[in-house]
Amino acid sequence: MKGAFNISNSQIFWLLVSMEIGMATLLTITMAVQVAKQDAWISTLLGSAVAILLTFFYVKLAMRYPGKTIIQFSQDILGMWLGKIIVIPYFVTWYSVFGAILRQVVDFIYLSLFTATPVWIITVVILVVVAYMTYVGGIESIARCAEVIGPIIVVMLIIIFILSIQDLHAKRLLPIYADTGWWLITKGAIPSMTFLSESSILMVLLAFLSTQEKAMSSSLWAMVVSMVILLDTIMMVIMIFGTLAEKMWYPLEQLVRYIYVMEFVQNVDSIFVILFLLSGFVKLAMYLFVASYSTAQWFGFQSWRTVMWVVLGIGYIITILFKNIDVATVEYPSQFWIPYVFPICFIAIPFILLLVDVIRRGIRIKT
Amino acid sequence: MNRGDKVMGKGTDKGENTPPSFEQKLDADHFVMKSLLEEAFNNCSDIVIRDIIYAGAISVLMIYIDGSVNTAEIDQILMGEIPVDDAISQRLQMKLTALAPSQIVQTVGEVVEHVIREKMAIVIDETSQAIILDVMKHETRGIEEPTNEIAVRGPRDGFTESLRINTNLVRRRLHSPLLKMESRTMGDVSKTPIVISYLKGIARESMVNEVRDRIDRISIDAILGSGYIEELIEDRSFTPFPQIQNTERPDVVCAGLLEGKVAIFTDATPFILLLPMTFWSGLQAAEDYSERFLYMTFIRWIRFTLVGVSLFLPSFYVAVIVFSPQLIPTNLLISVAEAREGVPFPTLFEVLLMEFMFEGLREAGVRLPKPIGSTVSIVGALVIGQAAVQAGIISAPTVIIVSTTGIASFAVPRYNLGIAFRLLRFPLLFLAGSLGLFGMTAGAAMILIHLVNLRSFGVPYFSPMAPQIFENLIDVVIRPPWWLGRKKAALMSNVKETRIPSQKNPFSRRKGQRL
Amino acid sequence: MKFRISLIMIAIVAVVFTTGCWDQVELNDRAIEMAWGIDQVSKSLVEISAQVIIPSRMQGQSSQGSQQKTFQVVSGRGINTLEAVQDMQRQLSRVVFRSHRRAIFFGEDTAKQGLTDILDTYTRDPEIRLRTDVFVVKGMTAKDFLSVSFPFESIPGLGALKEHTAMGGWGTEVFLDFLLSVNSEGTAPTLPLIQVTSQHGRKTGFEYSGRAIFNKQLRMVGELSSTQAQLAFWIKSKNRYLTIGGKVPPKGNVAIVILNPRSHIVSHLGKKSVRFVITLYGDGNLRENNTELDMSKTDSIHIVERALERQMSKRALALIAHVQKDYGEDIFGFGDTLHIQHPYYWKKVKGSWDSIFRHVQVRISTRISIKRVGLTGLPLHNRK
C-alpha cells in the first residue's frame, strides 16, 4: 500500500487531545447535566476514568501487532474470513460518525454564525478543507496540523477558563450526591464515557507510530489531559449556570458568550466557534483517513486516496439524511452511539480480539 | 536584467556551438595560432591579443580580457632582459608560472574557455601549449553595509558582487578546514561560477548530496542572479512561501552553516542562498543572537504577533464588521458605525481598494529614483489617506487597519517571507468577505495544511513546530540564552549535542566554584 | 500537483462568488439597539420598544448642542415578541442588531401580569446574550420610559445599567440570576426597579429605586426600597459594596462603606420547624464621623462597630419579617440554603416551602469590622 506513514508520540498525543476535546466539551455536558444535575462532574470523572481504562486495553491490543491496523491484526488473530467479518461494525461506525460529526459541526457553525447562507456551502467548505488535509499527506499531514491546532485549543480553553473565574459560584455545585444518588451519577457517566472511548481509533493510528515504546504513555496522557479539560469545563459550566445547563444546547458556548472583561472582551463566542471548528477539522480528517485507509486495506486496494472520495460522498449523503439538529446531535448519540457502537465496537470486539490473542499465544508457548 | 540576448537554445548541445577547430591541439606555428584565436574571438573588442617578441628572440602571444586582468607584472617580466639561448622558452615559462597560480593547457578550446573566465593565456612560440595565469583583477564595489538587512547590533559588512570576496568574508569567520567550498560553473553562455559551501560533519551528507544533485541537474543558458538558482532547485514552486533563504550578511551565512545549512554563492550577486529554510527561521533576524536574550525573546513575540496581524487583520476586520459586530466593544462599535455612515462602498471593497493602493504605493516607492521615492510615497499615502477619509469615500478605521497591516508586514525579518503573507492576505479577504469568521478560519486552516506539508530539501517547513521537536521548539518560542546550551536543529544537522558542551556553561562553572 | 492546486483555487473562487453575501450586513445597514422594552398591551398583544442609536448624531454631540436626540425609540406590536419585532422592523430602514443590547425593561403593569409567556425568546435566540440587565419600570410603560433622555449618557439604556452598577449591584448578571432563581425552588426571583424622576412636570432622568419581588408564576407581587434591597442583598451576599449609616450613642452618627459584604446562613432543623441563623459580615472603611469619638483609639472603633452591628441586625430582622408577612416570597434564598445543608429534609418540604417560609424563625447577628478610619482621628473642627 502506498505511503508508509510515520507519526511520532507527541503527534499521537495531540491527535487524541484535539479530537477528544472539541466534541466532548461541546456535546456531553448537556447530556450529563440532564441526568446527574449538579453532580454531572462526578459522572464525568467516572466516565472518563472508564474511558481511560478502555484506552489502556486498546493500546495493549494494538501494541501486540506493531505496524498493523485492526483490519490487519484481526485477520492475524481470527483468520482471514472471520477477521474480515468482525471489523465490519467499525466501518459502519466510522462512515456514519464521519457524517454525524460533519452534521454536528455544520449545525453548530450555522447556529452560531449564520442565518441566511445555505447550509451546503458551509458543508462544502468544511469538506474541502478536510479533504485537502487528508489528501496531501494522509495521517502525517493530519498529525502535524493537530500538533499546531491542539496547543491552540488547549491554550484558548485555559484563557476562557481564566476569564470566567470571576463569574464562578462554587455554591452551585452543592449539594453533592444527595439530589441524585449513585444510579443517576452512573447514568450520567455514559455520555462522557462513550465520547471519550473514541480513542478506539488508536487501534488504527498506532500502526503508523515510528517508535513504539512510548505509545502507551502518550495515549494515556492524552486521555488524562482531555479528562482534566472536560472536567474543568463541566465544573465551570455548573458553577456559572447551575442546572440551567441541562436546557442549553451548547453550554460551553454560552459560557464563553457570558465572559465579560472590562467592556472590552465580550460576546467572544465567535472566537470559540473558530476553536471548535479547528478541532472539528482534525477530527473529521482523522475519521476520513481512517475510514478510507481501512476500507482500502479491507478490499486490498492499492490507493486509499481513491477510496477517500467515496467516503467523502457517503459522508455528505449521511449529513443530508439527518432531518434536523435533534437527529444529529441528540438522537444519533443516544440511539445509535450509546446502545450499539459503544458496546459492540468499543468493548466487545476489542476484548474478543485481545482474549483470543492471549489464549492463542499462550497455547503457542506451551506447545 | 533580462535574458534577451540569448545566444543558444537551452536544449542544444555544447559541441555544436564551438567551431571544430577548437578541439584541435595548439599549433606550434605562431601565425596559425594567432589567426586561430583571432577567429575565435572575432568581434570581441574587449579581448586583447598581444603579439610580443620576447627578448628579441621568441614570439609570445598574450590573450586576455581588457580590464579584468592585472598585466603589470607580466609586462615587467616580458620587458626584462634575458640571455638568449635554447632554454629561453623554459625559463620564461618558469618565470611566469612563479607569478601566479597557473596551469598548462593544450587545446584551443581550453584557451578560449579560460580567457573568457578572466584569466590570461600566454602562448610561447613553438611550445604548442599555453600557460594560463590567474591574475584576475576585478573592479569591485567595496564592502558596504547591506541595505536590505540592517541590524542594530552586529557586523556592518555585507556581501558584494564578487564571489571571491564573498567566500573570503565567510572563511574569515570560520577558520576551519571543515568549511568546504565546492565550485561549479553554471550557464552555457554565462559560465557563472558558483560555490556550494557547508561544514563537513555538521551538515547532513544526504542533504549536501541532494543540493549537489539538484544543482547539477540545472541546464540553463545563463545565471544572472541567485534567484535563478533558487527557483530551479526549490522543492515546490506553486507556493507563496520561500523555501530557500537569501541573505546579504556573512554573519547570517556563518550562523546558518553552523546549524548545518548549506550556502550557495553565486558570482555577481550579493545575495547568498541559504538552505534549507524553515518557516520559523524566516522569522528570526540577524541580530537575534547578538543582543541579550530577554529583550530578543520579547522582540520575537512582537514579531509573531505582527506576522499574525499582517496575515489576518484585514480579513478579521471585514469578517467582524460585516458578519459579527457583536465582537466589538460597544463604544468602539458605535464609533466605527459613526465613521462608516455615508461611506459608499461595502467594507470588503473598501479594504481591497485600500490594500491595492497600499501595495501600489509600496511598489512605486521602491522603483522610483531615490531622491523622489520616499517623498512621493509618504506624501501619496498621506494625501490619499487623509483626503479619501475627509471626502467620505473611505472610512477612517479602514485606513487604520490597512496601514497597521502594512507596517506589520514589514516587521517580518525576511523580506521574501513577508511577501508570502502579503499575497495570502487577499484570498483570506475574499473568504472573510463571503463567509465571515468561518471562511477566515477555513482559509487559515488551508494555509496551515499547506505549511505543514511543505518541505525544504527534506526538512519539514513548519518544523520544529510540526512535526514537533521539543528541544528545538524552545529556540522558536523564546530566544534561549546561550548558556542554556542551544541544541542543533535535529532535522538539519548530523550533530546531536548542544552547541555549548553541557558541563561548560558559565553556570555550571560557577556552581563548581561555590562548592 | 498543479491540477490539485488549481482545483482548490477554483473551489475557493466558486465559493466566494456563489455565496454572494447572504449573511453580510454592512454596519451602516444595521440598527444597533441598546435597550429594549416589553409591555403587555392586552391579554394577547405584546408591545416591543427598542432604543436604537443614530450613529450620525453621535458625532460631535457637544458642538451641535443637545437638541437632536442620539437615539430613536421604535415599537411594534404582535402576539409574541418576534412578531412584534417584525412589526417594529416596518418602521426601520435597517436590520435590527440585538447583540449589543445591555438592558431590558418591563413595564410595571406587565410585570404584575406575569412574565412567563414572554421570556422564552430571550434565551433561545442565538443573537441575544444572557448578560443583560433587566429592570422593572415603576409606574410607567417601558415604551414611555425608553423615550426619556438622560443627561449623563447619550444612550439612556446604558445609564440605567450604570446607575445599578454604581449602587453596588452586579449589573449585567441580573438576567442570569433571575433565570437561576426562577429555576430554583428555594429562591424567589427579584428584579431591580427603576423610576423616572421629574421636576415641575418635566422628566429629568431616572433613578434606581429598589427591587421588584416576583412569585413563582413570575408575577410581581411587591417591592423593596433601595435601602431594603441593599440589605436583602447583603443577606444573599450579592452586593459588591454598600454604604451604611447609623446612630452612635450617646449622640451623633457615622457612615461607613462596606467593601466586602457577605453573609453566612446556617439552617437548624428543629422537631417541627426550621431555624436560620444568619451572620452578616462586613469589612468597612469609616467615611464620616459626626460623633465626639476619637477614632485613633481602638475603643471608640469598637463602640461604633457595636452600635452599627446592633442597628443592622435589627433592620435586617425587620426586613425579613416584612417580607415573610407581606409577600411570603423567599427572596433571600433560605430554601436553597436548606437544600444545600439538609438535602434530604429539603426533599420532604420543598413542595410546601412557600408556606413554611412564612413562619421560619430567623436569628441575625452582624460582624462589622472597621479596617480604616480615614485621614483624621478626631473631627478636625472638634475643639476638644
The fraction of chain A above a pLDDT of 70, given in percent, is: 99
Q: pLDDT tier at B3 (50, 70, 90 boundaries)?
A: very low
C-beta neighbour count of C275 within 10 angstroms: 13
Whether residue C3 lies within 8 A of chain A, CB to CB, comes out as no
Residue carrying the nine cell digits 491527535: A15
Residue of A nearest to C132 (CA): A258
Q: At residue A3, does pLDDT exceed 60?
A: no
Given the DSSP bridges, would you call strands C30-42 and C103-107 parallel, antiparallel or unpaired?
parallel
- Please indicate whether, in this complex, the C-beta atoms of A273 and B438 are within 8 angstroms of each other: yes
- Longest alpha-carbon distance in chain C: 97
Alpha helices by DSSP H, chain C: 2-19, 55-58, 61-64, 81-89, 108-113, 121-124, 142-146, 156-166, 174-183, 226-235, 298-326, 334-341, 343-349, 353-357
Burial of B457 (0-12, 13-18, 19+ CB in 10 A): buried
Q: Give me the pLDDT at residue C227, please.
A: 85
CB contact under 8 A, B427 and C100: no
Q: Where are the beta strands (DSSP E) in B66-142?
A: 102-105, 120-124, 130-133
Residues with Cβ within 8 Å of A88's Cβ and at least 6 positions away in sequence, in order, are none
The shortest CB-CB distance from A270 to any of B330, B437, B446 is to: B437
Cβ distance A18 to A150 under 8 Å? yes
Per-residue pLDDT of A210-219, as tens digits, reads 888 888 899 9
> Tens digit of pLDDT for each residue in B400-454?
898 899 888 888 888 888 888 888 998 899 888 888 889 899 999 999 999 999 9
Cβ atoms A252, A44 nearer than 8 A: no
pLDDT tens-place string over residues B46-88: 888 888 888 777 888 888 888 888 888 888 887 777 777 777 7
Task: Output phi, psi for C267, to 5 deg.
Answer: -105, 140
Quick one: closest CA in B to A108, which residue?
B438
DSSP label at B493? B
B32: which 3 cell numbers? Answer: 596559425
Residue numbers in C near B427 (CB within 8 A): 12
Q: Does C375 touch chain B (CB under 8 A)?
A: no
**What angle, 0 to 180 degrees and rounded to 10, lies between the N-to-C axes of helices A40-64 and A70-78?**
60
Q: How confident is the model at residue B487 (pLDDT cuts 50, 70, 90)?
A: low
Q: Does the structure show a pLDDT above 60 at B373?
A: yes
Contact A114 B445 (CB under 8 A): no
C138 close contact with B: CB closer than 8 A: no
In this predicted model, what pLDDT tens digit does every residue of A97-126 receive, in sequence order? 898 888 888 888 888 888 777 888 888 889
What is the reported pTM? Answer: 0.86
Taking only the tens of pLDDT, chain C with its 384 residues reads 556 667 766 766 666 565 556 677 888 888 888 888 888 888 888 888 888 888 877 765 444 445 567 788 888 888 888 888 888 888 888 888 888 888 888 888 888 888 887 777 777 777 777 888 888 888 888 888 888 877 777 778 788 888 887 777 777 778 888 888 888 888 888 888 888 888 877 777 888 888 888 888 888 888 888 888 888 888 888 878 888 888 887 778 888 888 888 888 898 887 778 888 999 898 888 888 888 788 888 888 888 888 888 888 998 899 988 888 888 888 888 888 888 888 888 888 888 888 888 888 888 989 888 888 877 777 777 665
Cβ contacts of C271 within 8 Å, gap of 6 or more? none
Give me the pLDDT at residue C60, please: 53
pLDDT tops 50 at residue B5: no
* A266 contacts: CB under 8 Å, gap ≥ 6: A259, A260, B326, B329, B330, C131
Segment A119-178, tens digit of pLDDT: 888 888 899 899 999 988 888 899 999 999 999 989 988 988 888 888 888 888 878 787
Taken in order B171, B172, B173, B176, is the CA torsion positive or negative?
A: positive
3-class secondary-structure state, position C196: strand
> Cell 514579531 belongs to which residue?
B303
Burial class (CB in 10 A: 0-12, 13-18, 19+), B484: middle
Best of C10, C26, C162 to substitute, by most chain B Cβ atoms within 10 angstroms, is C26
Q: Which of A132, A136, A174 sits opposite C340 (nearest CB)?
A: A174
pLDDT for position B8: 40
Neighbours of A346 (CB within 10 A): 23
pLDDT for residue B389: 81
Taking Cα atoms as reference points, which of B135, B95, B132, B82 lies closest to residue B110?
B132
Distance CA B406, CA B20 (A): 59
Highest mean pLDDT among A330-344, B196-210, C259-273: B196-210
The per-residue pLDDT for A288 is 93
Of A121, A175, A178, the CB nearest to C15: A121
CB spacing of C56 vs B342 below 8 angstroms: yes
Residue B507 has pLDDT above 60, yes or no: no
Which chains sit next to B, with 3 or more Cβ pairs under 8 A?
A, C
Which of the 8 DSSP states describes residue A209? B
Residue A222, pLDDT score: 92
B504, three cell numbers: 561548560
Query: Which H, E and C letters describe C23-57, residue by residue?
Result: CCCCHHHEEEEEEEEEEEEECCEEEEEEEEECHHH
Q: What does the pLDDT average to over A23-42?
A: 86
Which three cell numbers mark A180?
441524585
pLDDT for B505 beyond 80: no
Q: Once rounded to an integer, what is the mean pLDDT over residues B162-171? A: 90
Of A14, A266, A274, the CB nearest to B437: A274
Percent of chain B having pLDDT more than 90?
A: 15
pLDDT digits (tens, 9 = 90+) for B15-34: 444 444 556 677 767 788 78
- Core vs surface per residue A193-214: b (16+ CB within 10 A) or e: bbbbbbbbbbbbbbbbbeeeee
**Is the CB of A116 inside 8 Å of chain B's CB atoms?**
no
What's the average model confidence in pLDDT over A63-69? 87
Chain B residues with CB under 8 Å of C15 CB are 431, 434-435, 439
Q: What is the pLDDT of residue C17?
A: 60
Helix axes A215-241, C174-183, angle to 10 degrees: 90
Considering chain A, what is the average pLDDT of its residues? 86
Provide the pairing of β-strand C30-42 with C95-97: parallel
pLDDT for res A226:
92
The confidence score (pLDDT) of residue B501 equals 64
Neighbour tally for C361: CB within 10 Å = 11
Grid cell for residue B486? 542551544
B473 in Cβ contact with B486 (< 8 Å): no
In the numeric block, which cell numbers belong to residue B497?
549535542
Residues whose CB falls within 8 Å of the CB of residue C175, separated by 6 or more in sequence, listed in order: C104, C122, C130, C131, C132, C133, C134
Q: Do A121 and C343 touch (CB under 8 A)?
A: no
Q: What is the DSSP letter of B25?
A: B
Residues of C in contact with A243 (CB under 8 A): 183
pLDDT band per the 50, 70, 90 thresholds, residue A228:
very high
Contact check, Cβ <8 Å, A271/B446: no
- Percent of chain B's residues with pLDDT above 70: 88
Model pLDDT for residues B87-102, shown as the tens digit of each residue = 777 888 888 888 888 8
**HSE of A219, CA atoms in CB hemisphere, 13 A:** 29
